Copies of this chain bind each other. A is one copy, B any other.
Amino acid sequence: MEKKTLRTECPDAVGLISKITNICYKHQLNIIHNNEFVDNTNQQFFMRTELEGVFNDQTFLYDLDQALPKGTQRQLISSARKRIVIMVTKEAHCLGDILVKAMDGCLDVEIAAVVGNYDTLQNLTEKFDIPFHYISHQGISREEHEAALLQAIDQYQPDYVVLAKYMRILTPEFVAHYPNQIINIHHSFLPAFIGAKPYQQAYERGVKIIGATAHFVTNDLDEGPIITQNVIPVDHNFSASDMARSGRDVEKTVLSKALGLVLDDRVFVLNNRTVIL
């Protein structure tokens, strides 16, 4: 008996749930959890099905492909642990949170390596017996830097790249290398305060709530599909740096929650939005 997750995405049509669940039934696969969603604007159907049983992947997927409409994307994903590489700059809180969660089993993930453009977090990373690659951006071009990053990351063949307060902008080439595989934490409640120094911006605007946003990285800065957001109240007593300090707990919680959803194969992307099943 094995557990696998089926992800289905296709143009909406009558009878899709029936067809998919029939095939599961025919293959004697028990449905443990099932969630589906139809986006009415785009007439797109999404379904995530946790299955248990004895799988013959080939015949099961063949049956699905016969039954489902053209343009269907379907994946049958084993429950094997996924692998990530984490990119950082200097701030410890997001990295520290993922390290502790991976250690105590709260996140079921293998951290293959941490890559930093400063060596500030090398010590913390190595405490957890994880390789740290210090790849400074200083004195080289952006292209050279990203080439070095890619080389370091690619050797681990990660399922996802996690930007845990990596403070440099990535080029479209870098992003295209890991499509919908890069997760970033932005320290504002997007789309408010895009770009640099969001807490300073928040302070100057006099907002009464600050937040953080985890999103997939696309070519547009801070514009990718949002996975998770959360907020905390602030007031006139908060300076910009008070906001930054208080915001850390939100940032790390939002990032690791988003990461957990992605690792559970729950997140679908539809244009610039996410469907989380």
Report how many residues on chain A are interfacial, defined by Cβ distance under 8 Å.
Answer: 69
Most chain B CB inside 10 Å of its own CB: which residue of A15, A128, A276: A15
A269 shortest CB reach to chain B, Å: 9
Which of A3-11, A73-81, A100-108 sits within the interface? Answer: A100-108
A105 shortest CB reach to chain B, Å: 9
Task: Kindly state the separation between the CA atoms of A39 and B238 in the bound complex, as whole angstroms.
Answer: 10
Task: Kindly state the separation between the CA atoms of A32 and B37 in the bound complex, as whole angstroms.
Answer: 9
Residues on B with beta carbons closer than 8 Å to the beta carbon of A184: none
Binary interface encoding of chain A residues 76-90 relative to chain B, with 1 for a CB under 8 A from any of its CBs, else 0: 000000000000000
Which of A19-27, A55-63, A153-161 sits within the interface? Answer: A19-27
Residues on B with beta carbons closer than 8 Å to the beta carbon of A181: none
A137 shortest CB reach to chain B, Å: 22
Q: Are A275 and B34 in contact (CB under 8 A)?
A: no
Q: Are B21 and A25 in contact (CB under 8 A)?
A: no
Residues on B with beta carbons closer than 8 Å to the beta carbon of A91: 104
Which of A111-119, A140-148, A168-176, A224-232 sits within the interface? Answer: A224-232
Q: Are B228 and A231 in contact (CB under 8 A)?
A: no
Most chain B CB inside 10 Å of its own CB: which residue of A22, A104, A225, A274: A104
A30 shortest CB reach to chain B, Å: 6
The answer to whether A151 has its CB under 8 Å from any CB of chain B is no
The answer to whether A192 has its CB under 8 Å from any CB of chain B is yes
The answer to whether A133 has its CB under 8 Å from any CB of chain B is no
Residues on B with beta carbons closer than 8 Å to the beta carbon of A231: 209, 231
- Closest residue on chain B to residue A233 by CB atoms: B233
Binary interface encoding of chain A residues 240-277 relative to chain B, with 1 for a CB under 8 A from any of its CBs, else 0: 00000100110001001100000000000000111110
Known: A205-B273, A206-B274, A209-B211. 13 other contacts (CB 8 A): A17-B34, A18-B21, A18-B22, A33-B38, A37-B236, A41-B239, A93-B106, A96-B104, A97-B100, A191-B193, A206-B226, A208-B227, A209-B231
